[in-house]
Structure 1
Amino acid sequence: MTTAIGFIGLGVMGEPMCRNLAKKSGVPVYGFDRADAPLERLAEAGVKRAATLAELAKLCDVIFMALPSGKHVQAVCEGDDGLLAQADARHTIVDLGTSPVEASRELAKKFAAKGAQFADAPIARTRQAAEDGTLSVMVGASAANYAKLQPLIATFASDITHCGDIGAGQVVKILNNMVLMETVVALSEALETAKRAGLDPKVVFETLAKGSADSFALRNHGMKAMLPGTFPERAFSTEYARKDISYALDLAKSVNIQLQGAELADKVLGQAIDAGDGDLYWPVIARVLEKSRT
């Protein structure tokens, strides 16, 4: 029986997920973040502030992390006052971010040595989905741990898949992001080719959406970002996207396969970063071809 939930990382996705947990889980929720603003907003939903990771671990038996990268997860878990130092048999730690597969499995072993449980449960979909509680979550965990976590995850997700044991959720999420990024590279090529051929790119994308090229990437990244040229900061950045494609390439190397599409996506993301767009919403890669005009 979960007595209290901790939530670390109250950023673009973490804040609405934590809010849904507080409103729907029926148990106390404690938040931890370096920024004050999200904690102040979440207080209205009943989320209480934990001053330190040690305090969070003392108060909570299930702790979710929504952090930018595997490096951040390791810092929170393995730092001097991190979760591993506090962990015992009552704890279940859940990584909601995208992290390297082997790093997740190694962390799981370290928590197991303390008697604690660990699960990888990376999220997919948009901030609006996080607000609405309709995220997709891919879980890597034992069957028993999944059964315990599923009702809690259901407070912020409408599609929850048990992909297998530890690391399986990360494999599926990394492949999800890889396919998405390769698709957006293709959309960038189609967009710039249509412009140079003298066509209205809006008409092109709307027509593609009526045919076999239709996709989530086309309707969201293509129509809502690339067509209007809207690439805000404080969204999923090009730097973060390249981090995720690097996880795909590392995974491919570990299973002895070359992924030429992923290599191309990595190259284009790198070119966008080199052009100064690393902090912008990552469909800004459309500018790479646009800037190649001669």
Structure 2
Amino acid sequence: MSGSVGFIGLGVMGEPMCRNLAQKSGRPVLGFDRADAPLERLAASGVTRAASLSALSEACDVIFMALPSGAHVEAVTLGADGLLAHTRPGQVIVDLGTSPVELTRDIAAKFVAAGAHYADAPIARTRQAAEEGTLSIMVGADQPTFDVVRPLLATFASDITHCGPIGAGQIVKILNNMVLVETVVALSEAMATATRAGVDGKLLFETLMKGSADSFALRNHGMKAVVAETFPERAFSTTYARKDIGYALSLAQSVGLRLQGAELADQLLEKTQAEGFGDLYWPVVSRIVAKSN
């Protein structure tokens, strides 16, 4: 394929991914978002504004979606005048967000029935990684579809893993997020305990980085958010983190497992929302852990 590429969802992560795609792919890129500002910024990189979802679908061979949740993906793909209504044989639809596994497979089946192709390719890592083109992406797709999308994904990702058939990418990403959230809960517990026991929290984390407790979560979420007490809006929010934990719990239930660590993380995120921190960067859960009991 060598035609136009579409990109739907130009938020915190979507905008830099779309910019990298336009600058590196050598293909025309059409963008669509409800907000004007990212489209105005992306115009400098050669991204053309699509007037509607239908116009984007009709013009593009490959369409990426970087949307906040499975509900948004469902609306964009299956809603009135959504992508499915305008798809055509051979077209490729790629979900870059984190969506429920069963919903992903259901949406994919509808596109496949129409002669199109579908891939779940949820992204991992930070906004800085999106800017630098060094995201990690976990792909669920058949081999021919993976072969088509991989060069395009490589414009904004440095690690691309083919995890298996449709849905496999979501499974791996959901479990990635589950482990990340549970790790930050553990770091928050360590910070709260150290502080109350008279040890400086920053010193604690810097020392943990030198030992077996070191991790990506410690170096990024721990040092840059929990220690720094920095939990901005327009980052990955508590509400979104709890959504992903909900996906993990549903996935585990579907295979007959109970995940008590994930249940605890869900409860703490629920308390964080109840305290009015739902829109803040989700490591703010550390505040709830620190004041418990």
User: TM-score, structure 2 length as denominator?
Assistant: 0.99
The residue that corresponds to 1:259 in the other structure is 259
Alignment of 1:173-188 (within 5 A): 173-188=173-188
Please name the residue that 1:164 is paired with: 164
Identity of aligned residues (%): 71
Aligned to 1:229: 229
> Which residue identity lines up with residue 231 of structure 2 in the other structure?
F
Partner amino acid, structure 2, of 1:179: V
Checking the alignment, whether the CA contact within 8 Å between 1:95 and 1:122 is kept in structure 2 is yes
1:98 counterpart residue number: 98
Equivalent-residue separation in structure 1 for 2:20 and 2:214 (angstroms)? 31
Letter in 2 for 1:45: S
Query: How far apart, CA to CA, are the structure 2 residues paired with 1:246 and 1:60?
Result: 33
Structure 1 residue runs of 5 or longer lacking an equivalent are none
Please tell me whether the aligned partners of residues 150 and 160 of structure 1 are also in contact (alpha carbons under 8 angstroms).
yes
Query: Which string of whole-angstrom CA distances, capped at 9 and with x for unpartnered residues, describes residues 242-268 of structure 1?
Result: 000000000000000111111111011
Report if the CA contact (8 A) 2:189-2:290 is conserved.
no
Q: Which residue identity lines up with residue 15 of structure 1 in the other structure? A: E
**Partner of 2:113 in structure 1?**
113
Aligned position for 1:2: 2
Does structure 1 residue 198 correspond to structure 2 residue 204? no
Give the match for residue 143 of structure 1.
143
Deviation (angstroms), 1:290 = 2.2
Q: Deviations over 1:185-242 (max 9, x none)?
A: 0001000000000111111000000000000000000000001110000000000000
Counterpart of 1:269 in structure 2 is: 269
Superposition deviation, residue 277 in structure 1: 0.5
Show CA shifts across 1:150-199 (max 9, x none): 00000000000000000000000000000000000000100000000011
Matched, 1:48 2:45: no
Deviates more, 1:87-96 or 1:36-45: 87-96
Q: C-alpha separation between the residues in 2 aligned to 1:226 and 1:38?
A: 29
**Offset of residue 91 of structure 1:** 1.0
> What letter corresponds to residue 102 of structure 1 in structure 2?
E
The one-letter code sitting in structure 2 at the alignment partner of 1:44 is: A
Equivalent residues in 2 for 1:72-87, closer than 5 Å: 72-87=72-87
Aligned to 1:257, the other structure's residue is in SS state coil
8 Å CA contact 1:73, 1:95 repeated in 2: yes
Q: Which secondary structure does the structure 1 equivalent of 2:163 belong to?
A: strand
8 Å CA contact retained: 2:268, 2:289:
no
Over aligned residue pairs, what C-alpha RMSD do you find?
0.6
8 Å CA contact retained: 1:88, 1:115? yes
SS of 2:45's equivalent?
coil
Paired AA for residue 231 in structure 1:
F
Distance 1:267 1:22 in 2: 41
Unaligned residue ranges in structure 2 (runs of 5+): none
CA contact under 8 A between 1:2 and 1:62: conserved in structure 2? no
Looking at structure 2, the residues matched to 152 and 2 of structure 1 have their Cα atoms a distance apart, in angstroms, of: 11
Q: Partner of 2:93: helix, strand, or coil?
A: strand
Task: Identify the residue that residue 241 of structure 2 maps to in structure 1.
Answer: 241
Taking structure 1 as the reference length, the TM-score comes to: 0.99
Deviation at 1:35, TM superposition (A): 0.2
Cα distance, 1:2 vs structure 2? 2.8
